[in-house]
Amino acid sequence: MSASLHVPENADIAERVLMPGDPLRAKYIAENYLDDARLINDIRAMYGYTGYYEGTEITVQASGMGIPSMGIYSYELFEDHDVKYAIRIGTAGSIKSDAKLSQIVFATSASTTSNYQSEFQIDGHLAPVADISLLTAAIAVAQKDGLDFMSGNVLTEESFYSSKSSHERYKHWKRLGISAIEMETAALYINAAYHGVKALSMLTITDNIETGEKLSVSERETGLDKMIKLALSTISSM
């Protein structure tokens, strides 16, 4: 068992969990999409809520930013609670010139600059991948709703800033087919694999690193509702 320093052991956690990075986004989802939402975690203001979406009980727990934070929150959720499905909802920058702002990316797998998986004492390198049943369900919902999406391998970075230019930093990753850059998915997929949890990461493109296009601050705050609804519909169908 974990020490449960960040998610209370007695917290009312549902079998289905959404994990936005931002605690205020968790609060927004609870207040605008869940029925009978109740606060179940406010340790360090990393809010978690449990409520109902179209009759299905769902927990929304913030993960924080980066592999260490996602590693902590997803591990405690999976280790100490009966979580069966988890979907990360977040943002990403694309290194594909034809990627569109606000396009949704389904992370089929997550390459990473982190050595996080070394903590699991394996002789080699794990390929962190999405659960196929969640991925298939998400694609079906996206197609039904006419959403613009793509799927592919994403890069989970360990650092936000670098002394290298974006071109130098990502040119080799681009050649290897990486579709987007973010900071949490690999940790989620590794922890999910270790605990037998079905997981998926879906991301909204907020920046195109190749073209320099980016969403405004207000667009980032209000432009994720399509992905939120998609994630809720997907996880409630399982």
pLDDT tens digits along 37-95: 999 999 999 999 999 999 999 999 999 999 999 999 999 999 999 999 999 999 999 99
For residue 193, being part of any structural domain is answered with: yes
* Under 8 Å between Cβ of 198 and 82: no
Query: Does residue 220 carry a pLDDT above 80?
Result: no
Query: Does residue 200 carry a pLDDT above 80?
Result: yes
Q: What pLDDT was estimated at residue 218?
A: 80
For residue 152, being part of any structural domain is answered with: yes
Query: Does residue 167 carry a pLDDT above 90?
Result: no
Q: What pLDDT was estimated at residue 3?
A: 57
For residue 10, being part of any structural domain is answered with: no
Range with the poorest average pLDDT among 37-51, 76-90, 155-169, 174-188: 155-169
Is 98 part of the annotated catalytic residue set?
no
For residue 222, being part of any structural domain is answered with: yes
Query: Does residue 1 carry a pLDDT above 70?
Result: no
For residue 158, being part of any structural domain is answered with: yes
List, as one string, the DSSP characters of 154-223. EEE-S-S--SS-HHHHHHHHHHTT--EEESSHHHHHHHHHHHT-EEEEEEEEEEETTT--B--HHHHHHT
Q: What is the mean pLDDT of residues 102-116?
A: 96
Q: What pLDDT was estimated at residue 162?
A: 83
Residue 143 host element (H or E) = helix 132-144
For the chain, what is the domain count?
1
Identify the CATH number of the domain in which residue 109 sits.
3.40.50.1580
For residue 7, being part of any structural domain is answered with: no
Q: What pLDDT was estimated at residue 160?
A: 84
Query: Does residue 221 carry a pLDDT above 80?
Result: no
Q: What domain range includes position 153?
A: 16-236
The residue from 35, 98, 207, 225 that is catalytic is: 207
Q: pLDDT: is 66 or 9 the higher one?
A: 66
For residue 8, being part of any structural domain is answered with: no
Query: Does residue 2 carry a pLDDT above 60?
Result: no
The whole model's pTM is what? Answer: 0.95
For residue 11, being part of any structural domain is answered with: no
Query: Does residue 136 carry a pLDDT above 90?
Result: yes
